[in-house]
Structure 1
Amino acid sequence: MTEIAHVTIGVLALQGAFLEHITLLNQAARSLEQIHLESSHRQSPPYTGGTETASHAHDAAPFISEVKENKSPRFSPHQTDDLPRTISTSTETSNTKTRTTFPPQPSFRFIQVRTADQLSECDALILPGGESTSISLIAERCGLLEPLRQYVKVQRKPVWGTCAGLILLAESANKSKETGQELIGGLDVRVHRNYFGRQVESFEADLELPFLHGGTFPTVFIRAPVVEKVLTTLSATIDESEAAKAGTKTVLAPPRQATNAPLEILARLPGRARAIKDKMTTAEDLGEDGDVVAVKQGNVFGTAFHPELTGDERIHAWWLREVVRLKYKGQV
Protein backbone atom coordinates (compact mmCIF):
# COMPACT_ATOMS: atom_id res chain seq x y z
CA MET A 1 0.00 0.00 0.00
CA THR A 2 1.39 3.39 -1.02
CA GLU A 3 2.46 5.77 1.75
CA ILE A 4 1.47 9.38 1.10
CA ALA A 5 2.21 12.67 2.81
CA HIS A 6 0.60 15.29 0.59
CA VAL A 7 -2.51 15.44 -1.59
CA THR A 8 -3.09 18.38 -3.94
CA ILE A 9 -6.69 19.12 -4.87
CA GLY A 10 -7.41 21.58 -7.66
CA VAL A 11 -10.61 23.55 -8.23
CA LEU A 12 -11.15 24.83 -11.76
CA ALA A 13 -11.25 28.61 -11.30
CA LEU A 14 -12.44 29.97 -14.65
CA GLN A 15 -15.97 30.92 -13.58
CA GLY A 16 -18.51 29.91 -10.96
CA ALA A 17 -18.40 28.89 -7.30
CA PHE A 18 -14.75 27.84 -7.04
CA LEU A 19 -14.03 29.86 -3.89
CA GLU A 20 -17.00 28.26 -2.13
CA HIS A 21 -15.56 24.82 -2.92
CA ILE A 22 -12.16 25.79 -1.53
CA THR A 23 -13.80 27.05 1.66
CA LEU A 24 -15.60 23.75 2.22
CA LEU A 25 -12.54 21.71 1.28
CA ASN A 26 -10.57 23.49 3.99
CA GLN A 27 -13.42 22.94 6.42
CA ALA A 28 -13.60 19.24 5.53
CA ALA A 29 -9.83 18.81 5.84
CA ARG A 30 -9.84 20.36 9.32
CA SER A 31 -12.65 18.03 10.36
CA LEU A 32 -10.85 14.96 9.05
CA GLU A 33 -7.62 15.99 10.76
CA GLN A 34 -9.41 16.45 14.08
CA ILE A 35 -11.15 13.10 13.77
CA HIS A 36 -7.91 11.38 12.83
CA LEU A 37 -6.09 12.88 15.82
CA GLU A 38 -8.86 11.88 18.21
CA SER A 39 -9.01 8.35 16.82
CA SER A 40 -5.23 7.95 16.85
CA HIS A 41 -4.92 9.14 20.46
CA ARG A 42 -7.79 6.98 21.60
CA GLN A 43 -7.05 3.81 19.67
CA SER A 44 -3.38 3.49 18.72
CA PRO A 45 0.21 4.73 19.25
CA PRO A 46 2.07 6.81 16.64
CA TYR A 47 2.43 5.27 13.21
CA THR A 48 5.59 3.23 12.64
CA GLY A 49 5.03 2.35 9.01
CA GLY A 50 3.98 -1.25 9.54
CA THR A 51 2.71 -3.60 12.21
CA GLU A 52 3.70 -4.07 15.81
CA THR A 53 3.11 -6.73 18.43
CA ALA A 54 1.53 -5.92 21.79
CA SER A 55 -0.10 -7.88 24.56
CA HIS A 56 -2.94 -5.40 24.89
CA ALA A 57 -4.05 -4.19 21.49
CA HIS A 58 -6.83 -1.69 21.13
CA ASP A 59 -10.05 -2.45 19.30
CA ALA A 60 -10.35 -1.61 15.61
CA ALA A 61 -11.36 1.98 14.97
CA PRO A 62 -12.75 3.58 11.83
CA PHE A 63 -10.62 6.15 10.01
CA ILE A 64 -13.58 8.53 10.25
CA SER A 65 -16.60 8.35 12.50
CA GLU A 66 -18.24 11.75 12.69
CA VAL A 67 -17.57 15.39 11.95
CA LYS A 68 -17.85 17.94 14.74
CA GLU A 69 -20.05 21.05 14.80
CA ASN A 70 -22.88 19.56 12.77
CA LYS A 71 -25.88 17.75 14.20
CA SER A 72 -26.39 15.47 11.20
CA PRO A 73 -24.97 11.93 11.36
CA ARG A 74 -21.74 11.73 9.45
CA PHE A 75 -19.89 8.63 8.41
CA SER A 76 -20.19 4.95 9.07
CA PRO A 77 -17.50 2.34 9.69
CA HIS A 78 -18.77 0.72 6.50
CA GLN A 79 -17.00 3.52 4.62
CA THR A 80 -13.54 2.62 5.90
CA ASP A 81 -12.94 -0.84 4.47
CA ASP A 82 -10.24 0.23 1.99
CA LEU A 83 -8.46 2.72 4.26
CA PRO A 84 -5.68 1.87 6.72
CA ARG A 85 -6.91 1.57 10.29
CA THR A 86 -6.12 -0.29 13.49
CA ILE A 87 -6.78 -4.02 13.12
CA SER A 88 -6.31 -6.50 15.97
CA THR A 89 -5.98 -10.25 15.49
CA SER A 90 -5.20 -13.12 17.87
CA THR A 91 -4.56 -16.86 17.75
CA GLU A 92 -5.63 -19.70 20.05
CA THR A 93 -2.01 -20.54 20.92
CA SER A 94 -0.90 -17.09 22.05
CA ASN A 95 -2.21 -14.06 23.86
CA THR A 96 -0.14 -11.86 21.56
CA LYS A 97 -2.11 -9.60 19.27
CA THR A 98 -0.82 -8.01 16.08
CA ARG A 99 -1.87 -4.44 15.49
CA THR A 100 -1.69 -2.49 12.25
CA THR A 101 -1.61 1.16 13.31
CA PHE A 102 -2.87 4.36 11.77
CA PRO A 103 -0.69 5.93 9.06
CA PRO A 104 -0.19 9.68 9.27
CA GLN A 105 -3.09 11.77 8.04
CA PRO A 106 -1.99 13.24 4.69
CA SER A 107 -1.81 17.00 4.41
CA PHE A 108 -4.07 18.60 1.82
CA ARG A 109 -3.24 21.51 -0.46
CA PHE A 110 -6.07 23.23 -2.32
CA ILE A 111 -5.26 25.32 -5.38
CA GLN A 112 -7.14 27.31 -8.00
CA VAL A 113 -6.58 25.89 -11.49
CA ARG A 114 -6.44 28.21 -14.51
CA THR A 115 -3.57 26.74 -16.54
CA ALA A 116 -2.42 23.35 -17.76
CA ASP A 117 0.67 23.61 -15.53
CA GLN A 118 -1.51 24.09 -12.45
CA LEU A 119 -3.69 21.16 -13.54
CA SER A 120 -0.62 18.93 -13.78
CA GLU A 121 0.08 19.52 -10.06
CA CYS A 122 -3.28 18.09 -9.00
CA ASP A 123 -4.00 14.63 -7.64
CA ALA A 124 -7.72 15.36 -8.05
CA LEU A 125 -9.93 18.11 -9.44
CA ILE A 126 -13.30 19.77 -8.80
CA LEU A 127 -15.33 21.40 -11.59
CA PRO A 128 -17.57 23.92 -9.79
CA GLY A 129 -21.10 25.05 -10.35
CA GLY A 130 -21.52 28.09 -12.54
CA GLU A 131 -22.32 28.47 -16.24
CA SER A 132 -21.14 25.42 -18.16
CA THR A 133 -20.99 27.16 -21.55
CA SER A 134 -18.89 30.01 -20.17
CA ILE A 135 -16.55 27.58 -18.41
CA SER A 136 -16.05 25.52 -21.58
CA LEU A 137 -15.48 28.58 -23.79
CA ILE A 138 -12.96 30.09 -21.35
CA ALA A 139 -11.20 26.72 -21.01
CA GLU A 140 -10.92 26.46 -24.79
CA ARG A 141 -9.62 30.03 -25.07
CA CYS A 142 -7.03 29.34 -22.34
CA GLY A 143 -5.84 26.14 -23.99
CA LEU A 144 -7.15 24.13 -21.05
CA LEU A 145 -9.99 22.15 -22.63
CA GLU A 146 -7.85 19.39 -24.14
CA PRO A 147 -5.66 19.03 -21.02
CA LEU A 148 -8.88 18.65 -19.00
CA ARG A 149 -10.08 15.88 -21.32
CA GLN A 150 -6.71 14.18 -21.02
CA TYR A 151 -6.81 14.50 -17.23
CA VAL A 152 -10.32 13.05 -16.91
CA LYS A 153 -10.54 10.49 -19.72
CA VAL A 154 -6.97 9.28 -20.23
CA GLN A 155 -5.16 9.79 -16.91
CA ARG A 156 -8.39 8.89 -15.08
CA LYS A 157 -7.68 11.16 -12.11
CA PRO A 158 -10.43 11.64 -9.49
CA VAL A 159 -12.75 14.42 -10.62
CA TRP A 160 -15.96 15.81 -9.12
CA GLY A 161 -18.34 18.09 -11.00
CA THR A 162 -21.21 20.02 -9.38
CA CYS A 163 -24.14 21.29 -11.48
CA ALA A 164 -22.30 22.93 -14.41
CA GLY A 165 -19.41 20.58 -13.62
CA LEU A 166 -21.72 17.59 -14.05
CA ILE A 167 -22.78 18.92 -17.46
CA LEU A 168 -19.14 19.28 -18.51
CA LEU A 169 -18.36 15.73 -17.38
CA ALA A 170 -21.28 14.20 -19.29
CA GLU A 171 -20.67 12.48 -22.60
CA SER A 172 -23.84 14.05 -23.98
CA ALA A 173 -25.91 17.12 -23.08
CA ASN A 174 -29.19 18.48 -24.39
CA LYS A 175 -29.88 22.17 -25.09
CA SER A 176 -26.21 22.84 -25.74
CA LYS A 177 -25.30 23.22 -29.42
CA GLU A 178 -26.68 26.71 -29.95
CA THR A 179 -24.61 28.08 -27.07
CA GLY A 180 -21.27 26.77 -28.34
CA GLN A 181 -21.09 24.35 -25.43
CA GLU A 182 -18.13 21.97 -25.39
CA LEU A 183 -17.98 18.93 -23.12
CA ILE A 184 -15.07 17.28 -21.37
CA GLY A 185 -16.78 13.91 -20.88
CA GLY A 186 -15.96 11.12 -18.47
CA LEU A 187 -19.45 10.03 -17.38
CA ASP A 188 -21.40 7.82 -19.77
CA VAL A 189 -24.62 9.78 -19.35
CA ARG A 190 -26.79 12.27 -21.20
CA VAL A 191 -27.80 15.24 -19.09
CA HIS A 192 -30.73 17.60 -19.52
CA ARG A 193 -29.60 21.18 -18.88
CA ASN A 194 -31.80 23.56 -16.87
CA TYR A 195 -34.16 20.68 -16.19
CA PHE A 196 -35.96 22.41 -13.32
CA GLY A 197 -36.40 25.72 -15.12
CA ARG A 198 -34.95 29.16 -14.79
CA GLN A 199 -33.15 30.79 -11.87
CA VAL A 200 -36.38 31.91 -10.20
CA GLU A 201 -37.45 28.26 -10.00
CA SER A 202 -34.42 27.27 -7.93
CA PHE A 203 -35.15 25.30 -4.76
CA GLU A 204 -33.64 23.48 -1.80
CA ALA A 205 -34.40 19.93 -0.74
CA ASP A 206 -33.30 17.73 2.15
CA LEU A 207 -32.26 14.46 0.52
CA GLU A 208 -31.16 11.09 1.82
CA LEU A 209 -27.75 10.40 0.25
CA PRO A 210 -26.95 6.72 0.86
CA PHE A 211 -23.21 7.17 0.33
CA LEU A 212 -23.09 9.42 3.42
CA HIS A 213 -24.58 6.59 5.51
CA GLY A 214 -27.20 8.42 7.50
CA GLY A 215 -28.95 11.74 7.81
CA THR A 216 -30.27 14.09 5.17
CA PHE A 217 -28.23 16.59 3.18
CA PRO A 218 -29.43 20.11 2.28
CA THR A 219 -29.21 20.07 -1.53
CA VAL A 220 -29.43 23.30 -3.54
CA PHE A 221 -30.72 23.20 -7.12
CA ILE A 222 -30.09 26.30 -9.27
CA ARG A 223 -30.88 25.90 -12.97
CA ALA A 224 -29.79 22.34 -12.33
CA PRO A 225 -29.41 19.48 -14.79
CA VAL A 226 -30.50 15.90 -14.27
CA VAL A 227 -29.15 12.68 -15.71
CA GLU A 228 -31.81 11.58 -18.15
CA LYS A 229 -30.08 8.60 -19.74
CA VAL A 230 -27.22 6.17 -19.10
CA LEU A 231 -25.27 5.72 -22.33
CA THR A 232 -23.53 2.81 -23.97
CA THR A 233 -21.39 3.14 -27.08
CA LEU A 234 -24.41 2.10 -29.14
CA SER A 235 -26.83 4.47 -27.44
CA ALA A 236 -24.36 7.35 -27.81
CA THR A 237 -24.16 6.66 -31.54
CA ILE A 238 -27.96 6.54 -31.76
CA ASP A 239 -28.16 9.78 -29.78
CA GLU A 240 -25.89 11.51 -32.27
CA SER A 241 -27.78 10.14 -35.26
CA GLU A 242 -31.21 11.00 -33.86
CA ALA A 243 -30.07 14.47 -32.86
CA ALA A 244 -28.79 15.14 -36.38
CA LYS A 245 -32.06 13.96 -37.94
CA ALA A 246 -34.26 15.93 -35.57
CA GLY A 247 -32.08 19.03 -35.51
CA THR A 248 -32.01 18.92 -31.71
CA LYS A 249 -29.46 20.83 -29.66
CA THR A 250 -27.52 17.85 -28.31
CA VAL A 251 -23.73 17.97 -28.03
CA LEU A 252 -21.38 15.04 -27.49
CA ALA A 253 -17.95 14.94 -25.89
CA PRO A 254 -15.11 13.81 -28.18
CA PRO A 255 -14.16 10.16 -27.64
CA ARG A 256 -11.12 9.12 -25.64
CA GLN A 257 -10.18 5.84 -23.99
CA ALA A 258 -13.25 3.82 -23.05
CA THR A 259 -13.74 2.77 -19.46
CA ASN A 260 -15.09 -0.52 -18.18
CA ALA A 261 -16.18 1.03 -14.89
CA PRO A 262 -19.94 0.72 -14.31
CA LEU A 263 -22.10 3.81 -13.95
CA GLU A 264 -23.42 4.04 -10.39
CA ILE A 265 -26.51 6.05 -9.50
CA LEU A 266 -25.78 7.51 -6.06
CA ALA A 267 -28.83 9.71 -5.48
CA ARG A 268 -32.26 10.53 -6.83
CA LEU A 269 -34.62 13.38 -6.16
CA PRO A 270 -37.64 11.26 -5.17
CA GLY A 271 -40.42 13.40 -6.55
CA ARG A 272 -39.85 17.06 -5.81
CA ALA A 273 -43.15 17.21 -3.92
CA ARG A 274 -41.72 15.01 -1.17
CA ALA A 275 -38.48 16.94 -0.86
CA ILE A 276 -39.12 20.66 -1.37
CA LYS A 277 -38.95 22.42 1.96
CA ASP A 278 -42.09 24.53 1.58
CA LYS A 279 -44.20 21.34 1.22
CA MET A 280 -46.77 23.29 -0.82
CA THR A 281 -46.42 21.32 -4.05
CA THR A 282 -48.30 18.05 -4.36
CA ALA A 283 -47.01 14.78 -5.74
CA GLU A 284 -49.64 14.98 -8.47
CA ASP A 285 -48.25 18.33 -9.58
CA LEU A 286 -44.75 17.03 -10.16
CA GLY A 287 -44.97 13.26 -10.48
CA GLU A 288 -43.22 10.70 -8.33
CA ASP A 289 -40.44 9.48 -10.61
CA GLY A 290 -37.08 10.00 -8.99
CA ASP A 291 -34.73 12.19 -11.01
CA VAL A 292 -31.08 11.08 -11.02
CA VAL A 293 -29.03 13.83 -9.36
CA ALA A 294 -25.75 12.12 -8.39
CA VAL A 295 -23.68 9.56 -10.28
CA LYS A 296 -20.22 8.01 -10.16
CA GLN A 297 -18.24 6.09 -12.75
CA GLY A 298 -14.79 4.94 -11.78
CA ASN A 299 -12.97 8.01 -10.45
CA VAL A 300 -15.49 10.50 -11.86
CA PHE A 301 -18.26 11.82 -9.60
CA GLY A 302 -21.04 14.25 -10.48
CA THR A 303 -23.84 15.99 -8.59
CA ALA A 304 -26.64 18.04 -10.14
CA PHE A 305 -26.91 20.13 -6.98
CA HIS A 306 -24.50 22.57 -5.28
CA PRO A 307 -22.94 21.16 -2.06
CA GLU A 308 -20.54 24.11 -2.14
CA LEU A 309 -23.39 26.53 -1.38
CA THR A 310 -24.66 24.77 1.75
CA GLY A 311 -21.93 25.27 4.36
CA ASP A 312 -22.16 21.51 5.00
CA GLU A 313 -18.79 19.84 4.38
CA ARG A 314 -19.93 16.19 4.51
CA ILE A 315 -19.79 15.47 0.78
CA HIS A 316 -16.44 17.25 0.50
CA ALA A 317 -15.11 15.13 3.38
CA TRP A 318 -16.48 11.96 1.78
CA TRP A 319 -14.86 12.86 -1.54
CA LEU A 320 -11.51 13.70 0.06
CA ARG A 321 -11.57 10.27 1.66
CA GLU A 322 -12.26 8.72 -1.74
CA VAL A 323 -9.24 10.54 -3.17
CA VAL A 324 -7.04 9.42 -0.26
CA ARG A 325 -8.29 5.85 -0.62
CA LEU A 326 -7.36 5.83 -4.32
CA LYS A 327 -3.97 7.34 -3.60
CA TYR A 328 -3.22 4.75 -0.90
CA LYS A 329 -4.07 2.07 -3.46
CA GLY A 330 -1.67 3.65 -5.96
CA GLN A 331 -4.45 4.60 -8.37
CA VAL A 332 -3.77 8.36 -8.28
Structure 2
Amino acid sequence: MKIAVIAAQGDVEEHVVAANKALKKLGIEGKAFATIDKEEVAKSDAIILPGGESTTISKLIHKSSVAEEIKKAAREGKPVMGTCAGSILLAKHGDEEVRKTKTKLLELMDIWVKRNAFGRQRESFQIKLDIKGIGDFEAVFIRAPAILKVSSNVDILAKLDDYIVACQQDNILALSFHPELTDDTRIHEYFIKMAK
Protein backbone atom coordinates (compact mmCIF):
# COMPACT_ATOMS: atom_id res chain seq x y z
CA MET A 1 0.00 0.00 0.00
CA LYS A 2 1.29 3.45 -0.94
CA ILE A 3 0.13 6.45 1.11
CA ALA A 4 0.90 9.88 -0.34
CA VAL A 5 1.28 12.68 2.20
CA ILE A 6 0.89 15.93 0.28
CA ALA A 7 4.08 17.91 0.92
CA ALA A 8 2.75 21.42 0.37
CA GLN A 9 3.10 22.66 3.95
CA GLY A 10 2.47 21.64 7.54
CA ASP A 11 3.15 18.46 9.53
CA VAL A 12 4.13 16.39 6.53
CA GLU A 13 6.92 14.36 8.14
CA GLU A 14 4.82 13.72 11.25
CA HIS A 15 2.06 12.21 9.07
CA VAL A 16 4.62 10.07 7.21
CA VAL A 17 5.96 8.72 10.52
CA ALA A 18 2.46 8.12 11.98
CA ALA A 19 1.18 6.38 8.83
CA ASN A 20 4.27 4.16 8.60
CA LYS A 21 3.87 3.19 12.29
CA ALA A 22 0.19 2.43 11.64
CA LEU A 23 1.03 0.25 8.63
CA LYS A 24 3.52 -1.69 10.76
CA LYS A 25 1.03 -2.10 13.65
CA LEU A 26 -1.58 -3.43 11.22
CA GLY A 27 0.93 -5.78 9.59
CA ILE A 28 0.33 -4.24 6.16
CA GLU A 29 3.12 -4.05 3.58
CA GLY A 30 3.45 -0.50 2.40
CA LYS A 31 4.97 2.90 2.75
CA ALA A 32 3.84 6.44 3.46
CA PHE A 33 5.87 9.10 1.70
CA ALA A 34 5.91 12.87 1.23
CA THR A 35 5.23 14.17 -2.27
CA ILE A 36 3.83 17.05 -4.30
CA ASP A 37 4.33 15.16 -7.57
CA LYS A 38 1.05 14.52 -9.38
CA GLU A 39 2.25 11.20 -10.87
CA GLU A 40 3.20 9.85 -7.43
CA VAL A 41 -0.14 11.00 -6.02
CA ALA A 42 -1.96 9.28 -8.90
CA LYS A 43 -0.16 5.98 -8.17
CA SER A 44 -0.94 6.06 -4.45
CA ASP A 45 -3.62 3.99 -2.71
CA ALA A 46 -4.52 6.67 -0.14
CA ILE A 47 -3.84 10.39 0.33
CA ILE A 48 -3.27 12.53 3.42
CA LEU A 49 -3.69 16.31 3.16
CA PRO A 50 -1.92 17.77 6.23
CA GLY A 51 -2.62 20.97 8.10
CA GLY A 52 -0.78 24.25 7.65
CA GLU A 53 -2.26 27.40 6.16
CA SER A 54 -5.19 26.56 3.88
CA THR A 55 -4.76 29.44 1.42
CA THR A 56 -1.08 28.58 0.84
CA ILE A 57 -1.73 24.84 0.56
CA SER A 58 -4.57 25.50 -1.90
CA LYS A 59 -2.31 27.61 -4.13
CA LEU A 60 0.48 25.01 -4.07
CA ILE A 61 -1.69 21.98 -4.82
CA HIS A 62 -3.47 23.77 -7.67
CA LYS A 63 -0.21 25.13 -9.13
CA SER A 64 1.33 21.63 -9.13
CA SER A 65 -1.87 20.01 -10.51
CA VAL A 66 -2.00 17.78 -7.41
CA ALA A 67 -5.48 19.14 -6.64
CA GLU A 68 -6.91 17.41 -9.71
CA GLU A 69 -5.22 14.12 -8.75
CA ILE A 70 -6.69 14.34 -5.22
CA LYS A 71 -10.17 14.92 -6.67
CA LYS A 72 -9.75 12.07 -9.15
CA ALA A 73 -8.52 9.71 -6.41
CA ALA A 74 -11.48 10.60 -4.18
CA ARG A 75 -13.94 10.00 -7.04
CA GLU A 76 -12.28 6.59 -7.63
CA GLY A 77 -12.93 5.67 -3.99
CA LYS A 78 -9.38 5.98 -2.69
CA PRO A 79 -9.29 7.13 0.95
CA VAL A 80 -8.44 10.81 1.45
CA MET A 81 -7.85 12.32 4.90
CA GLY A 82 -7.58 16.05 5.57
CA THR A 83 -6.38 17.31 8.95
CA CYS A 84 -6.79 20.88 10.22
CA ALA A 85 -6.29 23.08 7.12
CA GLY A 86 -6.61 19.92 5.01
CA SER A 87 -10.17 19.52 6.27
CA ILE A 88 -10.98 23.06 5.11
CA LEU A 89 -9.81 22.19 1.59
CA LEU A 90 -11.99 19.07 1.44
CA ALA A 91 -15.15 21.12 2.08
CA LYS A 92 -17.70 22.28 -0.46
CA HIS A 93 -18.54 25.35 1.63
CA GLY A 94 -16.33 27.78 3.55
CA ASP A 95 -17.06 30.68 5.88
CA GLU A 96 -16.52 34.38 5.18
CA GLU A 97 -12.80 34.10 5.92
CA VAL A 98 -12.42 31.32 3.34
CA ARG A 99 -14.22 33.49 0.78
CA LYS A 100 -12.26 36.61 1.74
CA THR A 101 -8.90 34.85 1.24
CA LYS A 102 -10.18 33.34 -2.04
CA THR A 103 -9.14 29.87 -0.89
CA LYS A 104 -9.93 27.43 -3.68
CA LEU A 105 -11.64 24.41 -2.10
CA LEU A 106 -11.50 20.87 -3.48
CA GLU A 107 -15.27 20.56 -2.86
CA LEU A 108 -15.15 16.84 -2.06
CA MET A 109 -17.29 16.77 1.10
CA ASP A 110 -20.78 18.09 1.82
CA ILE A 111 -19.58 20.09 4.81
CA TRP A 112 -19.48 23.75 5.88
CA VAL A 113 -16.23 24.87 7.55
CA LYS A 114 -15.09 27.85 9.62
CA ARG A 115 -11.41 28.82 9.72
CA ASN A 116 -9.71 29.43 13.09
CA ALA A 117 -12.90 28.51 14.96
CA PHE A 118 -10.97 27.70 18.13
CA GLY A 119 -8.76 30.82 18.07
CA ARG A 120 -5.29 31.64 16.88
CA GLN A 121 -1.92 29.97 17.59
CA ARG A 122 -1.74 31.04 21.25
CA GLU A 123 -5.14 29.46 21.94
CA SER A 124 -3.90 26.00 20.91
CA PHE A 125 -4.93 23.14 23.21
CA GLN A 126 -5.14 19.39 23.70
CA ILE A 127 -8.36 17.65 24.78
CA LYS A 128 -9.77 14.14 25.00
CA LEU A 129 -12.43 13.42 22.37
CA ASP A 130 -14.73 10.43 22.06
CA ILE A 131 -14.37 9.48 18.39
CA LYS A 132 -16.89 7.09 16.86
CA GLY A 133 -15.16 3.85 15.88
CA ILE A 134 -11.97 4.78 17.77
CA GLY A 135 -12.90 5.75 21.35
CA ASP A 136 -11.09 8.25 23.56
CA PHE A 137 -8.39 10.15 21.68
CA GLU A 138 -6.13 12.98 22.90
CA ALA A 139 -6.64 15.55 20.11
CA VAL A 140 -4.30 18.49 19.44
CA PHE A 141 -5.96 21.68 18.17
CA ILE A 142 -3.73 24.40 16.65
CA ARG A 143 -5.49 27.34 14.97
CA ALA A 144 -8.12 24.72 14.28
CA PRO A 145 -11.07 25.05 11.96
CA ALA A 146 -14.48 23.65 12.82
CA ILE A 147 -17.09 21.90 10.77
CA LEU A 148 -20.27 23.91 11.26
CA LYS A 149 -22.70 21.52 9.62
CA VAL A 150 -22.83 18.49 7.37
CA SER A 151 -25.29 17.04 4.88
CA SER A 152 -27.19 13.86 5.74
CA ASN A 153 -24.71 11.72 3.75
CA VAL A 154 -21.85 12.68 6.11
CA ASP A 155 -21.21 10.69 9.28
CA ILE A 156 -20.27 12.79 12.34
CA LEU A 157 -17.44 11.02 14.21
CA ALA A 158 -16.71 13.58 16.96
CA LYS A 159 -17.92 16.89 18.35
CA LEU A 160 -16.40 19.45 20.68
CA ASP A 161 -19.01 21.70 22.25
CA ASP A 162 -21.32 22.71 19.38
CA TYR A 163 -18.72 22.12 16.67
CA ILE A 164 -18.13 19.00 14.59
CA VAL A 165 -14.41 18.17 14.66
CA ALA A 166 -14.32 14.82 12.82
CA CYS A 167 -16.54 13.47 10.05
CA GLN A 168 -16.53 11.00 7.20
CA GLN A 169 -18.26 10.96 3.84
CA ASP A 170 -17.72 7.57 2.21
CA ASN A 171 -13.95 7.36 1.57
CA ILE A 172 -13.13 10.89 2.77
CA LEU A 173 -12.20 11.78 6.34
CA ALA A 174 -12.00 15.36 7.71
CA LEU A 175 -10.47 16.19 11.10
CA SER A 176 -10.18 19.66 12.67
CA PHE A 177 -7.26 18.51 14.81
CA HIS A 178 -3.76 17.03 14.36
CA PRO A 179 -3.66 13.25 15.02
CA GLU A 180 -0.07 13.14 13.77
CA LEU A 181 1.14 15.18 16.77
CA THR A 182 0.41 12.37 19.25
CA ASP A 183 1.94 8.91 19.69
CA ASP A 184 -1.52 7.38 19.19
CA THR A 185 -1.75 5.94 15.65
CA ARG A 186 -5.37 4.72 15.86
CA ILE A 187 -6.72 7.42 13.51
CA HIS A 188 -4.07 6.59 10.91
CA GLU A 189 -4.92 2.90 11.40
CA TYR A 190 -8.63 3.67 10.91
CA PHE A 191 -7.74 5.60 7.74
CA ILE A 192 -5.55 2.79 6.38
CA LYS A 193 -8.33 0.25 7.00
CA MET A 194 -10.55 2.41 4.77
CA ALA A 195 -8.25 1.44 1.86
CA LYS A 196 -8.58 -2.30 2.47
Which bin holds the TM-score, normalised by the shorter protein? over 0.9
Task: Please tell me whether residue 161 in structure 1 is matched to residue 82 in structure 2.
Answer: yes
Deviation at 1:291, TM superposition (A): 1.5
Q: Which residue of 1 aligns with 2:190?
A: 318
Pairing of 1:168-187 with structure 2 (within 5 A): 168-174=89-95, 175-187=97-109
Residues 149 and 164, structure 2, Cα contact 8 Å, conserved in 1: no
**What is the percent sequence identity of the aligned residues?**
39
Q: In 1, distance between residues paired with 2:85 and 2:183?
A: 19
Q: In 1, distance between residues paired with 2:22 and 2:33?
A: 15
Query: Going by fraction, where is strand more abundant, 1 or 2?
Result: 2
Q: Which residue of 1 aligns with 2:163?
A: 291
Deviation at 1:121, TM superposition (A): 1.0
Deviations 1:8-41 (A, max 9, x none): 11111111111100111111122222xxxxxxxx
Q: Which has the larger radius of gyration?
A: 1
Residue of 136, 143, 152 corresponding to 1:223 = 143
Task: Please tell me whether residue 263 in structure 1 is matched to residue 154 in structure 2.
Answer: yes
Q: Which residue of 2 aligns with 1:116?
A: 38
Deviation at 1:224, TM superposition (A): 0.7
Deviations 1:203-229 (A, max 9, x none): 1101111211x4x21101111111112
Task: Return the TM-score normalized by structure 1.
Answer: 0.56
Please, what is the CA RMSD of the aligned residues?
Answer: 1.5
Residues 189 and 230, structure 1, Cα contact 8 Å, conserved in 2: yes
Unpaired runs of at least 5, structure 2: none
Pairing of 1:181-220 with structure 2 (within 5 A): 181-212=103-134, 214=135, 216-220=136-140
Residue of 29, 36, 58 corresponding to 1:136 = 58
Residues 126 and 141, structure 2, Cα contact 8 Å, conserved in 1: yes
- Matching residue's letter, 1:24: A
Q: In 1, distance between residues paired with 2:194 and 2:68?
A: 25
Residues 5 and 35, structure 2, Cα contact 8 Å, conserved in 1: yes
Unpaired runs of at least 5, structure 1: 1-6, 34-105, 233-261, 272-289, 325-332
Residues 195 and 224, structure 1, Cα contact 8 Å, conserved in 2: yes
Q: In 1, distance between residues paired with 2:57 and 2:73?
A: 16
Deviation at 1:231, TM superposition (A): 4.2
Residues 23 and 31, structure 2, Cα contact 8 Å, conserved in 1: no
Q: In 2, distance between residues paired with 1:220 and 1:317?
A: 18
Task: Return the TM-score normalized by structure 2.
Answer: 0.93
Change (3 A) 1:318 1:146: closer
- Count the aligned residue pairs: 195
